[in-house]
Amino acid sequence: MSTTPRIAAFFDTLLEQKGSDLHLSTGSPPMARVRGELVALREELLTPQEVEGLLFELINPQQRRQIVEELDLDFAYGYGAKARFRANYFYKQTGLGAVFRTIPSKVLTLEDLKTPEVVRKLADRRSGLVLVTGPTGSGKSTTLAGMVHHINHTRPAHILTIEDPVEFVHESARSQVTHREVGPHASSFATAIRSAGREDPNVILIGELRTNETMKLALQLASFGVLVFATVHTNSAPATIDRIINSFPADEQAQVRGMLAESLAGIVAQQLIKTADGKGRVAALEILVGGAAIASMIREGKVFQIASKMQAGQGQGMQTLDMHLERMVRDNIVTPEAALEKAQDKENLAKVIQRLKPDWVLPESLKA
């Protein structure tokens, strides 16, 4: 095997353009996602032979067997000292394809990410469940890595991460950091979480809560005095609570409501938005902080009341997504159009923006 894989040229271009993802797909040109937009890296289409050559060069025989038999493969790939990538290989109508997501080699701190103070306070908690949610590619892993970095550098703790694959690698500082990868180190998320309790952790990061079994285990750990971080693919804090409860059968939901009410420390729901200057992307955050009022709403099944509680809870650092979008438009960080695209109540935010910026004209496409 040559020391420099053939895919290196594409990786280099992606990193030079500060791209987030590289898409390789039979019958399409190689594509890079740069500032949220997909751009072709050349005109020539990739042939089946070229795709196989580029992709199979990076994997071992066992991984090759997995992609051929199971038609899907996830792994992390270290590109020398330049970068790490989270790779996903898959088969589709035209043949083999892959997406490589860039994992920055430097963990961004909460200060670098300009996250609100309340996010740091959630990381300072000693127990409870903190969920970071949002669609794929919204920066969930980056925010969680910033929170883990904060703990690692501020207090002596045992931090255990359970991921598939391991993304950000943390060198132990004041804390002891243990990374476990589903596959090489544990047969499944559930198995790894079950044994986590015996590994004396203070903080556990679970890559993704995919099943109700992993959700229940995470809730149990959080109620045992462990700080549990996890991600869920939902777009808002109330939707996250509903998703967790509704993933259980009806006869278990009351018990799950009770566990969630007791252990929920906070939810950070985020979306990435292009900045007004077009140079990058910025996270818009919805933040829910757990407490007695939120707990009783969860217990009593009144999740629909949570949004108004978040609007009224600014003193505790709470905010709805639309409140944050409004602030970013006011401060000219994002354009009104970009904010409206992500808004939960588009009509209301459009009215607010028209008050903030009287010269702004509502685009035709957004008129009801």
Domain range summary for the chain, segments of one domain joined by +: 8-103, 117-319
Q: Residue 229 pLDDT more than 60?
A: yes
DSSP string of 319-354, one letter each residue: B-HHHHHHHHHHTTSS-HHHHHHH-SSHHHHHHHHH
Query: How would residue 164 be classed by pLDDT, with cut points 50, 70 and 90?
Result: confident
Question: Cα torsion for 325, 326, 332, 335, to the nearest 10°?
Answer: 60
Q: Provide the 3-class DSSP secondary structure of residue 231.
A: strand
Instruction: Return the closest-CA partner of residue 342 out of 364, 325, 354.
Output: 325
281 forms beta bridges with: 274
Cβ–Cβ < 8 Å for 193, 182: no
Cβ–Cβ < 8 Å for 165, 181: yes
pLDDT, one tens digit per residue, over 261-306 is 999 999 999 999 999 998 888 999 999 999 999 999 999 999 999 9
Which stretches does DSSP call E strand in 56-165?
72-79, 83-92, 95-103, 128-133, 158-163
Average confidence score pLDDT of the chain: 92
Which pLDDT belongs to residue 368? Answer: 57
Average pLDDT rounded to a whole number, residues 313-341: 94
Domain 117-319 has CATH 3.40.50.300: yes
Q: Residue 208 pLDDT more than 50?
A: yes
Q: Residue 109 pLDDT more than 60?
A: yes
Which pLDDT belongs to residue 23? Answer: 97
Place of tokens 């009341």: 305
Q: Provide the 3-class DSSP secondary structure of residue 161.
A: strand
Same fold, 8-103 and 117-319: no
pLDDT, one tens digit per residue, over 14-43 is 999 989 999 999 999 999 999 888 999 999
pLDDT, one tens digit per residue, over 171-206 is 999 999 999 988 888 888 999 999 998 889 999 999
Domain 8-103 has CATH 3.30.450.90: yes
Which pLDDT belongs to residue 193? Answer: 93
Q: Residue 2 pLDDT more than 60?
A: no
pLDDT, one tens digit per residue, over 44-79 is 999 999 999 999 999 999 999 999 899 999 998 988
Question: Cα torsion for 110, 114, 116, 117, to the nearest 10°?
Answer: 50
